Structure 1
């Protein structure tokens, strides 16, 4: 779906799909003399605020970079804390999401997580599958380069089986082999805590996304910040490579 405008019908100033790189939990905790786990817990609360804000404002897709493929390189204790928080939210917050009309989807390599988390994640997807107010996509053990590579492998296998001719592979066909198949590309990508890079997040899908970088650490992100990034987006002119008229 690259190269097309997916803004919400009837409101061209509102992005249909917002994606967020949630950065700054550790720095937030350090500045307050708190353990790292306190920062991650506060970040979880920011997730809940952001989901509510997105649903309230009519955003249809919200993708959160919750755990990158590179996060497995962190200290074992921090990885255990992150997976423990993920387990808690999958077990105890999915019913609340469902009551709010939120559908949950997972992208990434779930096989690297403990079996119980894999099962909880798939159960959460099934329980919320019929909801349509907002689609919340959690990127877990996700990497943009790995996503592109696995899509290329799938295309190569399809060609070798005679299911498709190599000459028939275009951007649309290739996008259908990505983990985000069927999703609109993000209109707006936000990163918190002052870093100005994508860090291997939705590399193919972000080709025409508007980028906003905030100094605010993720645990402090709230509805006011969400409104700020929406206002910034509303002032951008999206031309998708065309010259201004």
Structure 2
């Protein structure tokens, strides 16, 4: 039976920049794709850890708009890995009551992968447990640009009054329009940068940069970070009473 989510003082929405797959493989004398395969297996463990950690929403950065700059061999291997992952995990994700969504620009992805993404979203659309969002061909600046274009089209068509546009307007056009903003953003592998990930949404997120390479990032470390979040004083620009 799928676990119920135990809400507490921890983060409701955790976003993860899953970094370090290539280095993990290189340290073992293996090709980079070997590390990506190990990283894909790690996703399952973290998704399964979410209910006990009180996490309702998990967003993972799988492939960025900048990752097309990698070698053709690595990109092709990653796209094949994404197709296999969706095919292999679809039934278990539905059985575990996990709702899956994808964000990012799908236009550049191949037709088979896009169809698999659509099918998984439809298959899990009724699920009420953990909300897993996979950022695939995603970039924060690209997302804002696409959202701004759609907003401008609504203004031009008379569906939106420019005088009514405020900071709450643009989020309605973002890929994440149905999601709450992330409370905690985690980046693995020791790098301390956000790499164009959820730029608008993470304005008030807490950040954790950990040295662990993604294939070694385990449920216990994830749960420790969510507990540490619960001890932070989040004031959103205000001062203590």
With the length of structure 2 as denominator, give the TM-score of the two structures.
0.95
Of stretches 54-63 and 190-199 in structure 1, the one that deviates more from structure 2 is: 54-63
Which stretches in structure 2 are left out of the alignment for 5+ residues?
none
Aligned partner of 2:155 in structure 1 is 159
Equivalent in 117, 122, 126 of residue 118 of structure 2 = 122
Q: Is the 8 A contact 2:102 2:134 kept in 1?
A: yes
Q: How does 1:7-18 map to 2 (within 5 A)?
A: 11=8, 13-18=9-14
Of stretches 145-154 and 187-196 in structure 1, the one that deviates more from structure 2 is: 145-154
Runs of 4+ in 1 over 3 A off after TM superposition: none
Aligned to 1:93, the other structure's residue is in SS state helix
Partners of 2:145 and 2:240 lie apart in 1 by 35
Equivalent in 59, 76, 79 of residue 80 of structure 1 = 76
Q: Is the 8 A contact 2:7 2:55 kept in 1?
A: no
Partners of 1:10 and 1:80 lie apart in 2 by 40
Aligned partner of 2:49 in structure 1 is 53
Aligned partner of 1:210 in structure 2 is 206
Following TM superposition, by how much is the alpha carbon of 1:153 offset from its aligned partner in structure 2, in angstroms? Answer: 1.2
* Equivalent residue pairs, number: 237
Aligned to 1:111, the other structure's residue is in SS state coil
Q: How does 1:66-145 map to 2 (within 5 A)?
A: 66-145=62-141
With the length of structure 1 as denominator, give the TM-score of the two structures.
0.94
Assess, with a 3 A threshold, how the Cα gap between structure 1 residues 50 and 33 changes in structure 2: closer, same or farther: same
Which stretches in structure 1 are left out of the alignment for 5+ residues?
1-7
Partners of 1:134 and 1:234 lie apart in 2 by 19
Query: Cα RMSD over matched residues?
Result: 1.3
Partners of 2:40 and 2:6 lie apart in 1 by 31
Equivalent in 160, 168, 173 of residue 172 of structure 1 = 168
Partners of 2:148 and 2:33 lie apart in 1 by 37
- Per-residue CA distance 1:3-54 (angstroms, 9 max, x = gap): xxxxx9962x211100000000011111111111110111011111111111
Following TM superposition, by how much is the alpha carbon of 1:56 offset from its aligned partner in structure 2, in angstroms? Answer: 3.5
